[in-house]
Amino acid sequence: MSEPEGEPLSYMSLIPHLKNLRACGIFPLPPETPILKRKLHKIYMSLNFAFIMTYTLQQIVNVFQVRNDVDKVMDSMFLLLTFCDCICKQLAFLMYPHKILEMLEIMKGPNFNQGIAEHRPLLLKTVYQAQLLLKVFNKLCLLTCVLWVLFPIISHFKQETVDFTIWLPFDANVDPQFYIAIFYVWLQTSWLAYNNSTMDIFIMYLFAQTKTQLTILRLDLENLVSRCKADVAVSSCTYTDSLERRFRGIIQHHNEIIKFSTMNDSIFNGPILFQFLISGWIICTTAYRTVNMSPASGEFLSMILYMIYILSELFLFCFYGNEVAYESEIIMESAYGMDWTELPVKYRRFLIIFMERIKYPIKPKAGKIVPLSINTFIQIVKSSYTFFTFLNKAGK
């Protein structure tokens, strides 16, 4: 993969995600866009939000109507909770676009894109992974939605009654109302899947970018002395001048990473906490729904794909949060690992002050309470299984 001229690699990792978010009416157009186009896009964003809200309300009404039937409630809840999760994340994008734009400006800036050859493979790896995961998650979710509507259509051809998990103002089991209803369900679920998967990967790769920048910071710290010596060998600058410039750059880079991570936390810690709270319930209700399905059926396959998506989404949030915390913790080792004995006394003092700053690692948390870590992922899965076992026994 080659870097387009003038295009910062750090920002490149999220270009397709931003394109999708704007096309779906989740994130506003850039400030340089003509005013009329921006106003029309804001109307489109409002309509998109109303579209998702309408389906969510229809699901809530349906849950209320079938509240005395546990199986029907379980059939409805897993998708209702997914819609609620999507709305929560969408609200973060609608409420804090200025903060997200500021984060994107940091990703375009010189501290995150220093043009050093050793940084390039790390940045390109993040770009590749971000764009690959977006494609995989988008396609996986859309395939699941196609399977969800395919099997009700087959049941309808067999003259079987199809139970829709939303309230509809007409009998959906007679033609042509059935096809209107099934198209509406497919459109809503596919729209949700595309929006939700794009938002998830966008947020994940804000964490991934933080991790990449921390790795670059460690690399710069470890090679500080050797690079200063190389500068002296190929230019007229003194060792002290090179050291001053490079060490100042490391401090500025660290400050930008802290700012970037803090902003990411302030925008998305609420939606991530909500996702963690409901993910266990979603996993549980999905498992409860599949327990009576034939493993050879297409419906079972669709639910397994959905389960894979939910577990992958949850795992990746925890994984990248864990990676950020780990990289942040070992910066201190990089400081000890550099050739600090070759630093003048003045810069040794600066290094000690800097080490006091990095003594407190970045630890991403959901809702400022729950750490994004592999241990958290395991605990959520365990809780889901416990609750599933309870429901399964209660239903027998």
CA 299, 303, 309, 315 torsion: positive or negative? negative
Residue 1: pLDDT over 60: no
Whether residue 2 lies inside any domain: the answer is: no
Whether residue 4 lies inside any domain: the answer is: no
Instruction: Give the whole-angstrom CA distance, residue 322 versus residue 374.
Output: 7
Instruction: Give the whole-angstrom CA distance, residue 281 versus residue 283.
Output: 5
Residue 281: pLDDT over 60: yes
Residues forming beta bridges with residue 365, ordered by sequence position:
371
**What is the pLDDT of the chain when averaged over all its residues?**
89
Prediction pTM value:
0.90
Residues forming beta bridges with residue 370, ordered by sequence position:
366
Structure tokens at 183: 């198209």
Number of domains the chain is built from: 1
Instruction: Give the whole-angstrom CA distance, residue 237 versus residue 228.
Output: 9
Q: Indicate the SS3 state at residue 366.
A: strand
Residue with tokens 């794909």, as numbered in its chain: 305
Over range 346-359, report the average pLDDT.
89
Whether residue 159 lies inside any domain: the answer is: yes
Give the pLDDT of residue 395: 58
Task: List pLDDT tens digits, range 16-40.
Answer: 999 999 999 999 999 899 999 999 9
Best CA proximity match to 208, nearest among 134, 265, 101, 130:
130
Whether residue 371 lies inside any domain: the answer is: yes
Give the pLDDT of residue 344: 87
Q: Hey, which of 268-272, 367-371, 387-391 has the most confident mean pLDDT?
A: 268-272
Domain of residue 253, residue span: 9-395
Residue 74: pLDDT over 70: yes
Give the pLDDT of residue 251: 94
Whether residue 170 lies inside any domain: the answer is: yes
Residue 289: pLDDT over 90: no
Whether residue 3 lies inside any domain: the answer is: no
Regarding predicted confidence, which is higher, 298 or 109?
109
